[in-house]
Structures are given as C-alpha cells and as structure tokens.
A and B are shown apart, each in its own frame.
Chain A
Amino acid sequence: MIGCYDFCGHYDWTFDWLKRTGGEPLVREYWNEAINHDSQRHARDLIQREGFAGMIKYWGHTLAEESPERAYTITHQTGVFRIDMHSCPSKGFLLRNDLASYQDYCDHCMGWIGPMMKESGFVIDHEHNHMGQCWWEMRLPDAPAGHSKPGDVAGEIDVRLQPNWLASGAHLDRYSKATDPDAKMR
C-alpha cells in the first residue's frame, strides 16, 4: 500500500518517474490535472469562490494539518495574502531523509498553485531557498505592489529576515507576478 506518512517521498519519486516517462510537459500536466484540478479541488473551489477569504481558510487548515508545529505564518492585508514558510514539512521530510529524486521538488508548489491562482484571478510573487523556507504573496494582477521589501507585509516574521534564509546550501528561485512554474527567475 502507498501510505500518506511518507507521502512526500513517493510524491518526489513520482515527479522523476513522470519526467523519465514523458518529459517535463508530463510533470506540468500532472501538477495541474491531478493536483490542482483533482486532489486539491477543495482549495481551488474555495479560492475561486471566496478569493482572499478562501486562501485564509484553505491555508489555515492545510498548513495546520501538515505542520502541527506551525512553522509558518499567514498574513492578510488589503490586497495581499502572504505565507511565510519557516520550516516546510514537505521539503523538510525530504531533507531529513536525504531524498531527492526530482531535480527541484520545490517546483511542485508553483506547479499546482500557479495554475490555480491563474484560474482564480490572482498572480504570485514567490521565492524558495531549497532548504525548506519560502514566501508567497498573492495579489490581483493589476495591483501595483509586488515583491514587498522584507518585513513590509509580515513584519518581523518575514522568513527573509531569518538567519537561515541564506544559510549554507540555500539558493533562491524567484517568481514575479507569475502563475507558471516555468516562469522562474534565478
């Protein structure tokens, strides 16, 4: 039986299997069809229906379940919803267990959240450091702001202000007003 306890391990392995089978297009198709439109359809429905309020409901519940230590924060101000992930339970599982089948596991989040936000009418500013820390800001496409300065939205809990943000081994992938996992700026 495939279990949920080590889900992130076989999820990562699955990305690599898909890449070997059908290349990166099949991986992107999987993230959108299987995760955005099927597995996480409750998130998609909620955010399409309620916008920012739906994001607060969805990430408030999901991150609490996946990360009981609450090693993350969510912040909502007028026109922006922000997540600061201080210790990703998913990437953390892979790092602790020395698992890395796919070349960049972190891409899967933009792989399904990006298309979901596009369908819901939002764009994303985002960075991840490949060490279990990342931040996300969701806004309407015509919002003037983007890539807020560290601390501007989340205050002192902004993950970019933490000493491990640029720790040894960290390297940043950056997205600006994006919804496509391949719109990565290095």
Chain B
Amino acid sequence: MNPPVTSELPYTDTKPQGSADFYYAINATFRFLLRSQGYAGWRRYLEEMGRGYFAPVNRQWSQGGLDAVARYWRAFFAAEPGAVVEVVQQADRVELQVRECPAIKHLRSGGREIVREYCQHCYYLGAARAEATGLTMRLSGGNGRCCHTYARPEAGLPPQDMKQIKEAGL
C-alpha cells in the first residue's frame, strides 16, 4: 500500500512508507519511560502527545468528523510498512480492524523484547486524541491483532476495560 497522492496525514515525507526499524526506537522509548517515569509517567507522555503533537490531526477530526477519522487512518496505515488493516466506517463509529500490527510484526521479526504494555499505548494515545475531538475511543485485543473504535458519544460505548487489551510479547 502507498499513501494517496493527496495525503490526509498532517506531516508528510518524500518516501511512501516509514522505516520499520523506527519501531525499535518506539519500543525502546516506552521501556525507558516506564523505567524512569513509571507507568503513570508513561501514560502522561502518551496523553500529552495525543493532545500536543497530534493537535493538527485532532483539528482535522473536529472539523471533518468520522469521515476525516476514517480517511486519516487509511492514509496512516498505508504509510506503515507491513500493516494489514481494514478501516470500517459506520454511522456512529469508525473501526480499525487490525489483522496484522506492523509494529508488533517487526519487533517480533527483529527478535526485540516487546514491552508488555505496548498495546496499551494505542488506547492512551487514541483516547486522548478522541477526547480532544469530542469522540470516544475503545480498544480490544492486541499483541498483533486488535480493534480500535472511534465513536460519537451517542454510540454509548461501555467504559474501556483494560483487561480487554492483551499484553504484548514475542
């Protein structure tokens, strides 16, 4: 998959996909933050990134609603090497059905020790971004296959059960 010519991504590069070895750095960053800042510090890092670094995406979502959410995630996963993801838009939600997580796949193939909390990052980051745009976000599964749901409040999604997010590992 290649990103569309007119990208929905706020930051664009000259190459169609990222370098998968950067997943090593993301995993290592989580390990460092969990050790040095604790779980609460790591969670704060993700939530502040969701509101700060991703502010341009949040603005797109606020203005464009679920259509913008779906377009963003299609472009996002097109630029992630090895991703196998279906983005399904319904009236009140967008579901990301992740058949193969590109990060978990690459970390495994590289023999890297994956932080067990890895999959929770998608929830804390995604929930912060959703909250900033008037949506709710829920996550189930993990460790390579999962489902992210971004929904309007009227969808009435139940609270996130963290037990529904699997620990990551080889």
Residue contact A5 to B25, C-beta cutoff 8 Å: no
In-complex Cβ contact of B21 among A29, A65, A93 (8 A) = A65
CA distance A35 to B81 in the complex (A): 21
- Across the interface, A1 reaches (CB within 8 A) one of B9, B13, B103, namely B103
Q: Which residues of B have CB within 8 Å of A69? A: 14
CA distance A29 to B33 in the complex (A): 11
User: Digit string of B145-161 for contact with A (CB within 8 Å is 1, else 0)?
Assistant: 00010000000000000
Return chain A residues, CB-CB under 8 Å to B48.
17
Given known contacts A9-B53, A68-B15, A39 and B45 CB-to-CB distance under 8 angstroms? no
- Min Cβ gap A31→B in Å is 10
How extensive is the interface on chain A, given as a class? 35 or more
What is the CA–CA distance of A20 and B72 in the complex, to the nearest angstrom?
A: 30
Whether A10 contacts B53 by the Cβ 8 Å rule is yes
CB distance from B153 to the nearest CB of A (A): 23
Number of A-B contacts (CB under 8 A): 109
Most buried by A among B21, B81, B121, B148: B21
> Are A13 and B53 closer than 8 Å at their CB atoms?
yes
Judge whether A29 and B36 touch: CB under 8 Å.
yes
| B39: Cβ under 8 A from any A Cβ | no
- The minimal Cβ–Cβ distance linking B116 to chain A, given in whole angstroms, is 15
Contact A3 B32 (CB under 8 A): no
B46 to chain A, nearest CB (A): 8
Residue A66, interface by CB 8 Å: yes
Verify if A59 is at the interface (C-beta below 8 Å from B).
Answer: no
Interface residues of B in 48-103 (CB under 8 A from A): 48-49, 52-53, 76, 79-81, 101-103
Q: Could you say which of B29, B31, B126 contacts A14, with CB atoms under 8 Å apart?
A: B29
A140 shortest CB reach to chain B, Å: 28
CA distance A23 to B147 in the complex (A): 37
**Docked-complex contact A3 and B80, CB < 8 angstroms:** yes
Q: Decide if B49 touches A13 in the complex (CB within 8 Å).
A: yes
Taking a contact as CB atoms under 8 Å apart, the answer to whether A34 and B31 are in contact is yes
Residue B132 interfacial (CB < 8 Å) = no
Q: How far is the CB of A44 from chain B (nearest CB, A)?
A: 12
Q: Which residue numbers of B lie inside 8 Å of A, CB to CB?
A: 3, 9-15, 17-29, 31-32, 36-37, 41, 45, 48-49, 52-53, 76, 79-81, 101-103, 121-122, 125-126, 148
Top 8 nearest A-B pairs (CB, nearest first) are A4-B18, A5-B18, A38-B28, A5-B79, A34-B32, A4-B22, A39-B28, A7-B22
A-B contact pairs, 22 of them (CB 8 A): A1-B101, A1-B121, A1-B126, A2-B121, A4-B20, A4-B102, A5-B9, A5-B13, A5-B18, A5-B76, A6-B11, A7-B18, A14-B29, A17-B49, A21-B37, A29-B32, A35-B28, A38-B32, A40-B25, A66-B19, A68-B15, A97-B11
